[in-house]
Amino acid sequence: MQLKRVAEAKLPTPWGDFLMVGFEEIATGQDHLGLIYGDISGPEPVLARIHSECLTGDALFSLRCDCGFQLEASLTHIAEEGRGILLYHRQEGRGIGLLNKIRAYALQDKGADTVEANHELGFAADERDFTLCADMFKLLGIDAIRLLTNNPQKVEILAEAGINIIERVPIIVGRNPENARYLDTKASKMGHLLDDTH
Ligand SMILES: Nc1nc2c(ncn2[C@@H]2O[C@H](COP(=O)(O)OP(=O)(O)OP(=O)(O)O)[C@@H](O)[C@H]2O)c(=O)[nH]1
Ligand SMILES: [Zn+2]
């Protein structure tokens, strides 16, 4: 287990009251969050979203990506279901951090795509560690989930880490002229399933 469960409190939102659970990575002290809605106990698979931190999209209304739209859509979907979990996974910029993401955006402004920009900076296209998310699910007592994602690799990695994924639930929102190329690159180079017909 790479994390410990540290503190929890109510988080009232426009979608209703969530229980906010704070986790700490034992090795680094980095914090992460789980937002729980409704009663997640019992054998019925829980609707779950792993949202990777994107300060620009989540808090600053950026149209360069789809993160802010996905965050809002996830909370809406979970509240409509009456039960679910959103893990707020604090690995900004697919794990390269905010400042390197800004560097990557600068390269994209000069013509690189999101994958090429990461490579030019010396990073893999995706540096995230999803085994931390598997640990958070385990600490929350979750056995089986229905995962909101368009990223089949995420499903594979979590399954390898011991999470029972009953279903992948697509979350295709927020396409706009500013992020169209970025989303097309995610589909063509990173295998994201961004076509509703999948
Ligand atoms: N390095 C880098 N990170 C980015 C860029 N745009 C968004 N991100 C980060 O990408 C992460 C979100 O990953 P996404 O590729 O949107 O989606 P995903 O989590 O793999 O898949 P979904 O579950 O379908 O959303 C967040 O941490 C963002 O900060 C970019 O151009 N470069
Ligand atoms: Zn984003």
66 Cα to the center of ligand 2, angstroms? 6
94 Cα to the center of ligand 1, angstroms? 5
Atom of ligand 1 nearest to the CA of 118: 1
Mean pLDDT within 171-197 = 86
Instruction: Evaluate the CA torsion angle 94, 52, 8, 10 in order and state its sign.
Output: positive
* Amino acid 198: pLDDT: 44
Q: Which residues contact 1 (CB under 8 A, 6 or more apart)?
A: 26, 135, 138, 139
Which ligand minimizes its atom distance to the CA of 122? 1
Mean pLDDT within 162-171 = 94
Domain 3-91+128-190: homologous superfamily in CATH: GTP cyclohydrolase II (3.40.50.10990)
Bridge partners, 87 (sequence order): 34, 50
Burial of 49 (0-12, 13-18, 19+ CB in 10 A): buried
Is 58 an active-site residue? no
Share of the chain above pLDDT 90, in %: 85
Mean pLDDT within 152-181 = 92
Mean pLDDT within 161-168 = 92
Q: Residue 143: pLDDT band by 50, 70, 90 thresholds? A: confident
Pick from 74-88, 123-137, 184-198: least confident: 184-198
Q: Would you say the CB of residue 128 lies under 6 angstroms from ligand 1?
A: no
Characterize 123-160 residue by residue with b for buried, 16 or more Cβ atoms within 10 angstroms of its Cβ, and e for exposed: bebbebebebbbbbbeebebeebbbbbbbeebbebbee
What are the sequence ranges of the domains in the chain? 3-91+128-190, 101-127
Is 103 an active-site residue? no
Q: Is residue 33 within 8 Å of residue 23, measured between CB atoms?
A: yes
User: Has residue 196 got a pLDDT over 70?
Assistant: no
Binding site as annotated, residues for Zn(2+) = 54, 65, 67
Mean pLDDT within 141-148 = 94
pTM of the entire predicted model: 0.95
Q: Which residues contact 183 (CB under 8 A, 6 or more apart)?
A: 66, 175, 192, 194
Q: Which of 44, 65, 46 is nearest to 148 (CA)?
A: 46
Residue nearest to atom 5 of ligand 1 (CA): 93
Q: Would you say the CB of residue 135 lies under 6 angstroms from ligand 1?
A: no
pLDDT digits (tens, 9 = 90+) for 96-123: 999 999 999 999 999 999 999 999 999 9
Q: Is residue 68 within 8 Å of residue 32, measured between CB atoms?
A: no
What Cα–Cα distance (Å) separates residue 181 from each residue in 64, 91, 102, 115, 154?
9, 23, 17, 12, 22
Share of the chain above pLDDT 70, in %: 98
| Distance in angstroms (rounded) separating the CA atoms of residues 43 and 136 | 18
User: Has residue 197 got a pLDDT over 60?
Assistant: no
Give me the phi and psi of 46, to 5 degrees please: -95, 135
83 Cα to the center of ligand 2, angstroms? 25
42 Cα to the center of ligand 1, angstroms? 32
Tell which one of 32, 60, 65, 87 to mutate to probe ligand 1, the residue whose CB is within 8 A of the most ligand atoms. 65
Bridge partners, 11 (sequence order): 18
Q: Residue 47: pLDDT band by 50, 70, 90 thresholds? A: very high
User: Has residue 186 got a pLDDT over 90?
Assistant: no
